[in-house]
Structure 1
């Protein structure tokens, strides 16, 4: 597939591939931003206080990442519907 891919970088047959690449990066950035903005010693402090992996996931990571995950899901739905609408026209 790679030789054919290099012959026609942007053609109609590779349009879904490029849509997926752009959609995946748009979804990953909000979650990555939330991970980068977290306090650096948060997990280490929880480990020091005796929290196991499930407690850290449930009490620290899930509340921290839930808004970003919901925003990314909404963004994925809107962009997917937009790509589908553009493909129909």
Structure 2
């Protein structure tokens, strides 16, 4: 009887771990999907962004501006998606 209850407890713990794992996967996918939706609201590249916002034209001065712009937009959208989730 004691052995059976130990197995039941172990199975319950394992089931909870899997539930948490799948919940985390669903959360990550939902956040990423929402962040992609939000990022579509921004211009695709730094040149378009700088053209529509002349005060940011200094961004065109470096070769790494496109990567920095993409990272910037990604962080903003991820933070907003996480805030919406809460």
TM-score (norm 1): 0.44
Bigger Rg, structure 1 or 2 = 2
TM-score (norm 2): 0.45
